[in-house]
Chain A
Amino acid sequence: MTRAGLREHRAVAHAAAREATEREPRHRPWLGALLAAGTAAALGVAMAGIPREHAPLPLIARYALEIAIPRWKLTEPVNEIVYGTRGFDTFGETFLLLAAVVSVMMITRPRELRRGYFGEAAAGAREQRQDDPDVGSAATERAARSAERREQGDQAPVGGARAETPDATPLGTPAPETAEAMTVVVRTAIRVVLPILAVAGLYLVTWGYSPGGGFPGGAVILGVLLLVYASYGRRKISKVIRPGLLEPLELAGAGLIIMTEFLGLVLKGSFSANWLPLAPMLTPLSGGVAQLFSAAELIEVGTGLTIAVFALLGMSHDWARDDGGQALGSSGDGERER
């Protein structure tokens, strides 16, 4: 690096450090501390008056414990509450989850290709000039951009020129692309652990042993997929993680939940009532409608969380346009001409 380049680099680093200390750290810390301390005092006083470890169980809890076996043939009272006594609450939460997943899908969606002419540039030109005049970028921003371009364009070690041909690249220098898979040690370990994890999670849900049934089961499914993604790379799971498969599955789970709960209203006269015959205790079908709800919830939570997390992981470099009409790191499709 030349002396001038070094000086510029130092100036940028210095500006960045000054900006970080200027802008980031605290915003009226005393006011914040005062408000937080006030909240802490109010909550602390409230905490002094609530039931402690020797209080009797609330009636709803005792009721749920006592009817779990006689009415539902469930040995897991938490499941009885999630899918039975408070089934309507769980029903609502399911759709809260669905709403969150739909929001993530909407927000992370890539840009659509242009399909028609609207003339919005000509129509909005006056407003654009008024509200967003085209000012030149500041000196620090230019310096930061040139540093970024240098970093992107030149991966070679400092002081050394880039190798002429790939054959001349010295051993140990990083490849132009990030590694897709992890080392063979990690991949082998994942290969051993994965079936155990998946089978254990699904087994606990199927037999109704896990408190919450489909909720933790769905999280286990997400964990399994994330382990594969982290160790083997995106390509290995791209057959499974695609919107065309996951989104219909998610909606099928939601539909199954609606059907399960609504059939109670139709057949038994009460929303979320049990309309299935009860199998003996400690079998996969014990609990009747609770197990069906749990299975549907497994689909819903598993696919929903997977869609949300992978949508977030897959957000592209979709930067808004900046000074030169060239978005950094973006393919530039859909950009307006200036």
Chain B
Amino acid sequence: MILGNYLASVALFCVGLFVLLTRRNLIKIVMGLSLMEAATYLFMVSLAYRAGSTAPVLAGPPAGKTAEQLARGNVADPVLQNFCLTAVVIGVAVTAVFLSVVVRIAQHYRTLDADRVRAMRG
């Protein structure tokens, strides 16, 4: 039942959202964003799954099968795997941006509490 995976990714996403909405510690907010990111990875990989399928690899097909038969047969969705793969790398870089901003805020305001960082409020 792949629906379980879908619902797990929804739960993970909403845990991240809850953290984002209720916490004021900037590090925890970044952790919440990372959780939401991880939820989308889980969702995309689950969406790529097909019952009884093989990985989308055409090298070295099993005996009695050609690579063309493999390509037309039951395989997992390679497009969603592509999305997930690039998203992971981008996610690392974006998390680095978040964390460097957090470090600069901590150095400037001497607090990680988002409520106290309000110099822009006028």
Contacts and interface: CB of A to CB of B under 8 A. Distances in A.
Contacts of B59: 75-76, 209, 281-282
A53 B49 contact: yes
Contact of B58 (A40, A77, A96, A216): A77
Nearest to B13: A43
Interface in B5-36: 6-7, 10-11, 13-15, 17-18, 21-25
Contacts of A311: 96, 100
A232 to B, nearest CB: 23
A82 B90 CA distance: 14
Nearest to B75: A65
A296 interface: no
Interface string A25-49: 1111101110111011001100110
A107 B100 contact: yes
Contacts of A281: 59
Overall SS of chain A's interface: helix
A69 interface: yes
A218 B89 contact: yes
A312 to B, nearest CB: 5
Contacts of B58: 65, 68-69, 75-77
Interface in A194-225: 209, 211-212, 215-216, 218-219
A104 interface: yes
Contacts of A337: none
Contacts of A75: 57-59, 67
Contacts, number: 191
B113 A23 contact: yes
A69 B93 CA distance: 33
A309 interface: yes
A8 interface: no
B108 interface: yes
**Contact residues on A (Cβ < 8 Å of other chain), bracket:** 35 or more
Contacts of A218: 89
B117 interface: no
Interface in A294-328: 301, 304-305, 308-309, 311-312, 315, 317-320, 322
A323 to B, nearest CB: 11
Interface string B95-109: 011011101100111
A26 B113 contact: no
Given A40-B11, A104-B96, A35 B17 contact: yes
Contacts of A209: 59
A23 B115 contact: yes
Contacts of A86: 79, 82
9 smallest beta-carbon distances between A and B, as pairs: A32-B21, A75-B59, A100-B93, A32-B22, A308-B96, A36-B18, A53-B51, A212-B85, A65-B71
16 contacts: A27-B115, A28-B22, A40-B11, A40-B13, A61-B77, A61-B78, A66-B72, A78-B85, A100-B93, A104-B93, A107-B97, A211-B78, A215-B89, A282-B59, A312-B100, A317-B107
